[in-house]
Amino acid sequence: MNMRLASGLTLAAALALPFVSGCASDSGDTTATPLTGNAAAGATVFSANCASCHGSDGKGTGTAPALTSASIQQKTDATLTATVTNGDGTMPAFGKSLSAQQIADVVAHVRTLGK
């Protein structure tokens, strides 16, 4: 009898897992498996959302730091993702206006700016 209960609970947990993990990624949870960014798609998102402050080349405009700097390029993808998602200081949060994939794409594009 205990074996059936344990099996039933395991089955219930397995069935609920996709729903739980889907909720976590929709909430901006950055602890989920990171998405692979597309730098070309990120260039378009960057142009529309980031270039006005960071410059079209990412070298900064005086109101925002150069994304080409070593201090930015040395940050982890998770840190950059969190900054774009949640904002930081004067930088606005984009977690509600950009999808998780768009943010991953922007991070991938930022990586190309430092090269």
Taking each helix axis from N to C terminus, what angle separates 77-86 and 100-113, rounded to the nearest 10 degrees?
Answer: 120
Reported as a single tens digit per residue, the pLDDT across 30-74 is 566 678 999 999 999 999 999 999 999 999 988 899 999 999 999
Tell me what pLDDT residue 59 has. Answer: 95
Task: Give the residue numbers spanning the domain of 96.
Answer: 35-113
7 located within any domain:
no
CATH code of 84's domain? 1.10.760.10
Of 12-21, 54-63, 77-86, 101-110, the least confident: 12-21
22 located within any domain:
no
* Number of structural domains in the chain: 1
**Measured between alpha carbons, how far is 90 from 56 in angstroms, rounded to an integer?**
19
The stretch 87-109 carries a mean pLDDT of 96
